A and B are shown apart, each in its own frame.
Chain A
């Protein structure tokens, strides 16, 4: 079936460390977003990245659509980076799936001072 798998499920870092989160998806997509859910539960947009590479400060993301994966890089991590990181995709179903974001189960990141 249609799946979005994220790894690792949990990640513990010391402040200043770098990390890579991965998102694998089972079929062609025409939308892929990365979100950060902070400890207060708010879902914050990080990237809209169905293909290619983007950077925003200490964060960057790369999606290789042909190989069906996306990576989120966090450099020089800070305690405020803690939370859950979600990958969400809209599978390409010939125009009938617009907006139907399917979420992965998330990666729980804890950054210690």
Chain B
């Protein structure tokens, strides 16, 4: 399997512009997660989906952030309008529910976002 795929790998944009990050989870996985990593706050969960349905978005910083999962193989995280404080590495991860319950989350390579 190719693992979790994210695009773009790097994004540089100007304040006020819309940014769209993309993720393709591992085939067959039923959970998808979006995380953000910054020096100040470390790694933090933003939102996660189960079977394409958003389950918990309590980590989404504000209304400028939105996430969608239109089908089992694709998700987007959108920031509109972007601000310099949104600069971070954004990771997507996926996992598969098993009879035993919780399972390993596999992370994509991340998108490094810089907002000028």
Identify the A interface with B (CB < 8 A): 30-31, 33, 35, 41-43, 45, 48, 50, 86, 88, 90, 98-106
Contacts and interface: CB of A to CB of B under 8 A. Distances in A.
A105 B102 CA distance: 22
Contacts of A43: 91, 107, 110
Interface in B51-98: 55-56, 89, 91, 95
A47 B103 CA distance: 11
Contacts, number: 53
B45 A100 contact: yes
B106 A99 contact: no
Contact of A99 (B33, B42, B89, B110): B33
A76 to B, nearest CB: 25
A99 B43 contact: no
Given A30-B102, A43-B107, 18 more contacts: A30-B101, A31-B103, A41-B89, A42-B110, A45-B106, A88-B43, A98-B50, A98-B55, A99-B31, A99-B48, A99-B55, A100-B45, A100-B56, A101-B43, A101-B45, A101-B105, A103-B44, A104-B42
A48 B56 CA distance: 22
Q: Kindly list the 6 A-B residue pairs having the minimum CB-CB distance in the complex, ordered from nearest.
A: A31-B102, A103-B43, A43-B107, A48-B104, A30-B102, A99-B48
A33 B104 contact: yes
Contacts of B101: 30
Contacts of A105: 42
A50 B105 CA distance: 13
Contacts of A98: 31, 50, 55, 102
A92 to B, nearest CB: 9
B107 A48 contact: no
A49 B108 CA distance: 20
A7 to B, nearest CB: 15
Contact of B102 (A42, A45, A50, A86): A50
